Structure 1
Amino acid sequence: MMRALLAAALLAAGATAPVDTVRYNFDGPAPLTDVSGHGHDLSPVSRHGGAFKLVTRDKGKALVFPPPCRAEPCPRIALRAPTTTDLNPGVRPLRYGASVRLAADQTTKGENIMQKGYSASGSQYKLQIDGLAGRPSCVLVDDRRREIHAAISSVGVADDRWHTLECRRDGGRLTILVDGVPRGRATLPADLSVSNRLPFSIGGKGSYPDNDQFQGMLDEVWVGIG
């Protein structure tokens, strides 16, 4: 009951642009530093030679993840921030996004841009790119109910151009925006809560097989809560 009342109060207050809880621009001498100033710096976890590269983008840098691999063992890498309650939105408004560049031959069944938590246990928010069409989607899973709520974009982004992706959760609505334009929506319980003790990850779930490895370029990853 208390969780539902809190969700209703937040919805009634209206959505405002949140202050960054975490942001990575991958620039400067320490590219995995959280430039929001909140200290959620990233560390790589890798296997079979998995590594990221830095390339020039505009006046800064972007990350390049390993290319598609068709025969195991494949190089795998994810970037992780330590577990913290700061990145648990609970029932509060939530926005998160990234800039991505993905070619048509870099798509797979599923590629994780970012996530905190898992859909099978403990709750989750996630931004991913799915299938050969390269359609991005936003996912939320409650910490008590296992139903997966996904806002799937009506357009793909696997055209070897840069695109900005954003997920917005406001009460009972989840929206995905591509280049600032809403491209998909999903309804969800207003009291859906994401709260877990798992690390925040970029580029994959981890370094193990079936880690949903991201395989393109990534820049400007951020999360705003509240």
Structure 2
Amino acid sequence: MRSRSLVVPAVLAGLLAGSVADPASAHEQVSTPSAAVVGAAPASRVTAGWTLVARYGFDGGRPTPIADESGKGHTLRLVTRNGGTVSAVRHGIGHALRFPGKCLTGRRCPHAALQSPSAPNLNPGTRPISYGAKVLLSPSQTSKGQNVVQKGYSATSSQYKLQVDGAAGRASCVLVGARPGIKLITSTVSVADGTWHTVECRRTARALTVLVDGAVRGNRAIQPGLSVANDRPLSIGGKGAYSDNDQFQGTLDDVWVRVG
């Protein structure tokens, strides 16, 4: 990571008008099927040679918008509500982004997310995809569900998503293709312990896998024909800036999307 500083403004009022609510207003409560868990052994590097289609290190350059370091041009812009903002904090030799903290006042809570418009190369279709981030979340910051990376909505389109779920703060991966069925796998370990963790969702031809710090922590079978392609934005830290956005409440760094 580079050492240039990042300054993110508190409110980008002009972007608020473009925020679109998820028609599925409630966080999905989906039972997780039994999964074959491959202990703590490091996962094989099956993503070698896949195409990096988006990456954000949050380390500097223009304060906003935030450039896509993959070179594919998926620039992020901040959408906010009720005074929500993101702020730069030191992480290693560079920076990470802290999102609005826990709030119990409902519709008056601050909300913030980073979004880039839809593009064909962000839609994997039936191809393999890997997406993830480094996350920092304390035990006191957990909630029923917090979005880390998302493209698409489960009720109205196809979707891929990484989230942190429940009081235990377990990472989970979601794929939604043709109806019916939300495909979800939840990690066997928590990432909400006040230390940095790398979390990855990986879809191959017949499996959806969640990895924490490079170790497989859950997987499940999926059908090869499950296709994810939609015209929704790529969103980081929340579904948007509206009231029920599944706000991420910790700190994020090094967000990426790769397609095989």
Give distance in 2, aligned partners of 1:220 and 1:177.
Answer: 15
Shift of 1:30: 2.4
Shift of 1:49: 0.2
Equivalent of 1:194, from 199, 213, 228? 228
SS in structure 1 at match of 2:189: coil
> 8 Å contact 1:20–1:225 — kept in the other structure?
yes
Aligned partner of 1:173 in structure 2 is: 207
- Are residue 218 (structure 1) and residue 252 (structure 2) matched? yes
Equivalent of 2:51, from 6, 19, 22? 19
Shift of 1:84: 1.1
- Are residue 45 (structure 1) and residue 103 (structure 2) matched? no
SS in structure 2 at match of 1:194: coil
Give distance in 1, aligned partners of 2:133 and 2:105.
Answer: 29
| Paired-residue identity, % | 53
Give distance in 1, aligned partners of 2:184 and 2:49.
Answer: 22
**Unmatched 5+ stretches in structure 2:** 1-45
CA 1:79–1:185 in structure 2 vs 1: closer, same or farther (change >3 Å)?
A: same
Aligned partner of 2:111 in structure 1 is: 76
Aligned partner of 2:197 in structure 1 is: 163
> 8 Å contact 2:126–2:227 — kept in the other structure?
yes
> 8 Å contact 1:15–1:170 — kept in the other structure?
no
SS in structure 1 at match of 2:68: coil
- Are residue 123 (structure 1) and residue 158 (structure 2) matched? yes
- The alignment's C-alpha RMSD in Å is 1.2
Give distance in 1, aligned partners of 2:238 and 2:49.
Answer: 27
> 8 Å contact 1:112–1:202 — kept in the other structure?
yes
Aligned partner of 2:174 in structure 1 is: 139
SS in structure 2 at match of 1:211: coil
> 8 Å contact 2:47–2:130 — kept in the other structure?
no
Deviation by residue 1:92-150 (Cα, 9 ceiling, x = unmatched): 011111000000010000000010001112100000000000000010000x2230101
Aligned partner of 2:60 in structure 1 is: 28
- Are residue 149 (structure 1) and residue 187 (structure 2) matched? no
| TM-score for the superposition, normalised by structure 2 | 0.79
| TM-score for the superposition, normalised by structure 1 | 0.91
Matched to 2:232, the amino acid is: L
Query: When you count strand as a share of all residues, which structure comes out higher?
Result: 1
Deviation by residue 1:58-105 (Cα, 9 ceiling, x = unmatched): 011000001000013000011000121110000001111100000001
Shift of 1:152: 0.7
Aligned partner of 1:89 in structure 2 is: 124
Give distance in 1, aligned partners of 2:56 and 2:244.
Answer: 25
Shift of 1:18: 1.2
Shift of 1:44: 0.8
Runs of 4 or more above 2 Å deviation: 14-17
